[in-house]
Chain A
Amino acid sequence: MKSSTGIRYWISTTNHKDIGSLYLWFSLLMFFAAGAMALVIRMELSSPGRVLVDPNFYNQMVTLHGLVMIFGAIMPALAGFANWQIPLMIGAPDMAFPRMNNFSFWLLPVGFTLMLGTLFVDGGAPNFGWTMYAPLSTTYGPPSTDYMILAIHVLGVSSILASMNIIATIINLRAPGMSYMRMPIFVWSWFITSFLLLAIMPILAGTVTMLLTDRHFGTSFFSAAGGGDPLMFQHLFWFFGHPEVYVLIMPAFGIISEVIPTFSRKPLFGARLMIYAIAAIAVLSFIVWVHHMFVTGVSVWVKIFFMFTTLLVAVPTAIKIFNWTATMYRGAITFEAPMLFSVGFLFLFTFGGLSGLMLGIVPADYQYQDTYFVVGHFHYAIVTGVYYAILAGVYYWLPKWTGRMYSQTLAAWHFWVSTIAANLTFLPMHFLGLAGMPRRIPDYAIHFADFNAVVSVGGFLFGFAQLIFVYLVVQNVWGKKGYGSVSDQVWECAKGLEWLLPSPVPHHSHDEPPLVTKASYEWD
């Protein structure tokens, strides 16, 4: 057997569990890199006037924070779960294309070296926001924009290959008896997400290639002077960008759908409806993109159509929220760390979703557009939504992966400090936005000072709380003193094929495909 400590082993490993771990560790690293950028931003905004960095560098931090968090932290974390869990949950010995899986992961460090390397390029890193709007990224983009475009291409290839692998695995490697409708909700969520990724990442690749040719090869896709239209960039970008939001949230839905039934000790309420709701959200995600562009001068009828479709997304999302709540109703609930984060997700993601509805209403959006209200909204959706689901997932499956329990007390501290800090950080952003504070500015009027000070304190507190998480994970994986070994099932009511395997999960699992007779959400 090969040693699992050498660098050559980790570079060449094709085991889905190893690659899942690589994704998760890489994502943790990127969380801290992008988190440090967030703290630079919050330090600069902690009081009016110039505090720490010059405005150009501030803009670079805003841009890289967004890009690294989305492409470097959240997506790889979710891909890590997919790699670890999908083969275990469907009874497959590994992913369909193990070598491609390895290649998909190792493209990530290459992409992010290019992306973060832009900080050292003459003129600094890209400074136009993660949305890369033309002409800021064409005419006025610094030279490092080209590195960023190449990085996006590399990351795009990684995502496309990973999604192909996941789809091929789910279609071809399910255990006997594991029909589509018997697949766990987490697997379903990744199945649909992978199709979504496969559809949108090439659009982003095409769009940034247009940016590149506009910058260097004399084309005018986004230049009005040459017959193009800068507004078209926004259409193309958001045609990718809005489904991308659902790429982040749908696997999170999958994780929550696994955790809540376990700790409510009840089967998932309306499981099939949950699957249909995820599919409906995926379809609707392609016809809502103009809600990011209500103030760009699109016609009234277009606005009305997209307002309608945007509000329509609330229907399947509400179905999911109600089903999770109904699952908990009259359940024998216990609040271990995964459940704490899931309940936190339920409340705070719903809050973020409601402010999303406010933004989806055209006349209201005229007021909120480009203010801190938007920043508050999407941070509730991403941080207390997707990130909380990721934490719930780690706390849920980590004992299964390592065979050891972690400190529930410290994990509860992690939850409560994070939750208080997140609300301290993101709730006042709504008030700032309603009062008219624009986003993406390094300085602001004096009357925004108090709330900004609160937001900055909350931001630093949130960052500190994540150190507890790192301590817990490191202690669980490498610490000599654990909190006891766990049984195969780990949690009393955990259901599914992965819980039938020994803890920790052996390096090679499901060598003999198990026979599936019912869905994991159908309890006796």
Chain B
Amino acid sequence: MNGIRAPLNLHVYALFWTVSALCSVVLLIKQVIFAQVLFYFLLIVGGGGLAYWFYDLQAHADNRLLRSALCLGAFGLSMLVFSYVMVPLYHILCHGVSASNVMAGQSAVATVDVLARSYRNLPVRVFVDKDQISLAKGGAEQFWVTLKNDSTSSQNLKLLVVTQPREWRSSIHLVMPDYIKLEPNQLMKFPLEVVTKSPVSSDRQVSMMLLLQDTKDTGLLGKTDSWRKMVREYQG
């Protein structure tokens, strides 16, 4: 075994941790209460266990080549983990921890750029009557959204809202229809109200995008055939 100790309890530990991690991911997806805490707990315990295993292996390896390989392997593995750590790190460093952390005074007014798009090749055009709205805490702003169905078939649609910074999404409340049905060539106009729930920051660049999507989720990531559509479009 070249001095490698692989005690049974290590395998049991690894198996237990893997099953638990998978279960916690499922619970997380199902949004079960405390699933997030369980997930991070397992992540830390698992990471710690793995680090200990590497340490134990290299400490007991009687061959210095093997010891080098294990140390280098651990370094490589930690860099893989680091690539995932960079995801929350990126959002913290580049977008701020949350909008509330950089709040200005209670009376601050934020200017929000409003954009509207229809998702991928949806044959519906969408317009808003205001490019920018100003929001203060507790304030409300209304603007009009116009939809035009350019196809000869009816469209079942829903509106998604994306904000930049993304933490901003939780501090505003939009009064808007859940689902919209557009008949062939129909033009529809409806008001949309934005209410701010928490204090706003006036020193940040904020934008809000209304994303129109069909209710069948066509074009969602992983379910898309947009590459084929693009090729078809190119070939005319």
Asked if A pairs with B, the answer is yes
Interface residues in chain A, defined as those with a beta carbon under 8 Å from any beta carbon in chain B: 55-56, 96-97, 123, 138-143, 160, 163-164, 167-168, 171-172, 198-203, 205-207, 210, 214-218, 220-221, 223-227, 229, 231-232, 235-236, 239
Among B73, B79, B160, B221, residue most surrounded by chain A Cβ atoms (within 10 Å): B221
Find chain A residues with CB under 8 A from B231 CB.
Answer: 56, 123
Q: A232 to B219, alpha carbons, bound, how many Å?
A: 21
Asked if residues A97 and B65 are in contact (CB atoms below 8 Å), the reply is yes
Asked if B72 is at the interface of the complex by the 8 Å CB criterion, the answer is yes
Nearest chain A CB to B207 CB, angstrom units: 11
Asked if residues B228 and A168 are in contact (CB atoms below 8 Å), the reply is no
Q: Which 6 A-B pairs have the closest CB atoms?
A: A206-B83, A202-B80, A202-B79, A168-B68, A164-B72, A203-B83
B220-236 vs A, CB cutoff 8 Å, 1 = contact: the mask equals 01101011101100100
Interface residues in chain B, defined as those with a beta carbon under 8 Å from any beta carbon in chain A: 64-65, 68-69, 72-73, 75-77, 79-80, 82-84, 86-87, 90-91, 94-95, 119-120, 160, 162, 164, 166, 209, 211, 219, 221-222, 224, 226-228, 230-231, 234
18 CB < 8 A contacts A-B? A55-B234, A123-B227, A123-B231, A143-B227, A164-B68, A164-B73, A168-B69, A198-B75, A202-B79, A203-B82, A203-B83, A205-B80, A205-B83, A206-B84, A218-B222, A225-B211, A229-B91, A236-B90
For A235, the closest partner residue in chain B by CB is B90
Among B73, B79, B84, B228, residue most surrounded by chain A Cβ atoms (within 10 Å): B79
Asked if residues B76 and A171 are in contact (CB atoms below 8 Å), the reply is no
Q: A414 to B164, alpha carbons, bound, how many Å?
A: 55
- How many contacts between A and B, using CB within 8 angstroms? 106
Asked if residues A56 and B222 are in contact (CB atoms below 8 Å), the reply is no
Known A139-B120, A198-B75, A216-B222; further 18 A-B contacts with Cβ < 8 A: A55-B234, A56-B234, A97-B69, A139-B224, A143-B227, A164-B72, A167-B68, A168-B65, A168-B72, A201-B76, A203-B86, A206-B80, A220-B221, A224-B164, A232-B87, A232-B90, A236-B83, A239-B86
Asked if residues A198 and B68 are in contact (CB atoms below 8 Å), the reply is no
Find chain A residues with CB under 8 A from B82 CB.
Answer: 202-203, 206
By secondary structure, the B interface counts as helix
Nearest chain B CB to A131 CB, angstrom units: 16
Asked if residues B65 and A96 are in contact (CB atoms below 8 Å), the reply is yes
Among A141, A164, A167, A218, residue most surrounded by chain B Cβ atoms (within 10 Å): A164
Q: A224 to B234, alpha carbons, bound, how many Å?
A: 26
Q: A261 to B31, alpha carbons, bound, how many Å?
A: 66
Asked if residues A198 and B221 are in contact (CB atoms below 8 Å), the reply is no
Asked if residues B222 and A229 are in contact (CB atoms below 8 Å), the reply is no
Find chain A residues with CB under 8 A from B64 CB.
Answer: 172
For A164, the closest partner residue in chain B by CB is B72
By secondary structure, the A interface counts as helix
Asked if residues A141 and B72 are in contact (CB atoms below 8 Å), the reply is no
Q: A227 to B77, alpha carbons, bound, how many Å?
A: 27
Find chain B residues with CB under 8 A from A231 CB.
Answer: 94
Find chain A residues with CB under 8 A from B119 CB.
Answer: 225
A198/B90 contact (C-beta < 8 A), A167-B68, A171-B68 known: no
For B234, the closest partner residue in chain A by CB is A56
A164/B69 contact (C-beta < 8 A), A202-B77, A221-B87 known: yes
Nearest chain B CB to A213 CB, angstrom units: 9
Asked if residues B65 and A140 are in contact (CB atoms below 8 Å), the reply is no
Asked if residues B72 and A167 are in contact (CB atoms below 8 Å), the reply is yes
Nearest chain B CB to A129 CB, angstrom units: 15
For B230, the closest partner residue in chain A by CB is A140
Find chain A residues with CB under 8 A from B209 CB.
Answer: 224
A203/B221 contact (C-beta < 8 A), A168-B68, A172-B64, A225-B162 known: no
Find chain B residues with CB under 8 A from A138 CB.
Answer: 221
Q: Which of B65, B87, B162, B166 interacts with A172 by CB under 8 Å?
A: B65
Nearest chain B CB to A405 CB, angstrom units: 38
Find chain A residues with CB under 8 A from B120 CB.
Answer: 139
Find chain B residues with CB under 8 A from A123 CB.
Answer: 227-228, 231
Q: Which of A141, A160, A221, A229 interacts with B76 by CB under 8 Å?
A: A160
Find chain A residues with CB under 8 A from B76 CB.
Answer: 160, 164, 198, 201-202
Q: A138 to B220, alpha carbons, bound, how many Å?
A: 11
Find chain A residues with CB under 8 A from B75 CB.
Answer: 198-199
Find chain A residues with CB under 8 A from B87 CB.
Answer: 210, 221, 232
Q: A223 to B224, alpha carbons, bound, how many Å?
A: 13
Find chain A residues with CB under 8 A from B94 CB.
Answer: 229, 231-232, 235
Find chain B residues with CB under 8 A from A223 CB.
Answer: 221
Q: A299 to B221, alpha carbons, bound, how many Å?
A: 30
For A204, the closest partner residue in chain B by CB is B83
Nearest chain A CB to B43 CB, angstrom units: 15
Nearest chain A CB to B161 CB, angstrom units: 10
Find chain B residues with CB under 8 A from A217 CB.
Answer: 222
A139/B221 contact (C-beta < 8 A), A56-B234, A97-B65 known: yes
Q: A202 to B83, alpha carbons, bound, how many Å?
A: 8
Q: A142 to B166, alpha carbons, bound, how many Å?
A: 28
Asked if residues A200 and B79 are in contact (CB atoms below 8 Å), the reply is yes
Q: A223 to B209, alpha carbons, bound, how many Å?
A: 13
Q: A56 to B65, alpha carbons, bound, how many Å?
A: 49
Find chain A residues with CB under 8 A from B90 CB.
Answer: 229, 232, 235-236
Q: A200 to B80, alpha carbons, bound, how many Å?
A: 9
Q: A226 to B169, alpha carbons, bound, how many Å?
A: 12
For A142, the closest partner residue in chain B by CB is B227
Among A55, A168, A205, residue most surrounded by chain B Cβ atoms (within 10 Å): A168
For A213, the closest partner residue in chain B by CB is B222
Find chain A residues with CB under 8 A from B83 CB.
Answer: 202-203, 205-207, 236
Among A143, A214, A225, residue most surrounded by chain B Cβ atoms (within 10 Å): A225
For B164, the closest partner residue in chain A by CB is A224
Find chain B residues with CB under 8 A from A215 CB.
Answer: 221-222
Nearest chain A CB to B68 CB, angstrom units: 4
Q: Which of B69, B73, B162, B227 interacts with A224 by CB under 8 Å?
A: B162
For B119, the closest partner residue in chain A by CB is A225
Asked if residues B72 and A218 are in contact (CB atoms below 8 Å), the reply is no
Find chain B residues with CB under 8 A from A224 CB.
Answer: 162, 164, 166, 209
Nearest chain B CB to A208 CB, angstrom units: 10
Q: A207 to B226, alpha carbons, bound, how many Å?
A: 22
Q: A347 to B199, alpha carbons, bound, how many Å?
A: 59
Q: A217 to B160, alpha carbons, bound, how many Å?
A: 20
Q: A206 to B81, alpha carbons, bound, how many Å?
A: 8
Asked if residues B227 and A96 are in contact (CB atoms below 8 Å), the reply is no
Q: A199 to B76, alpha carbons, bound, how many Å?
A: 6
Find chain A residues with CB under 8 A from B72 CB.
Answer: 163-164, 167-168, 198
Among B64, B68, B160, residue most surrounded by chain A Cβ atoms (within 10 Å): B68
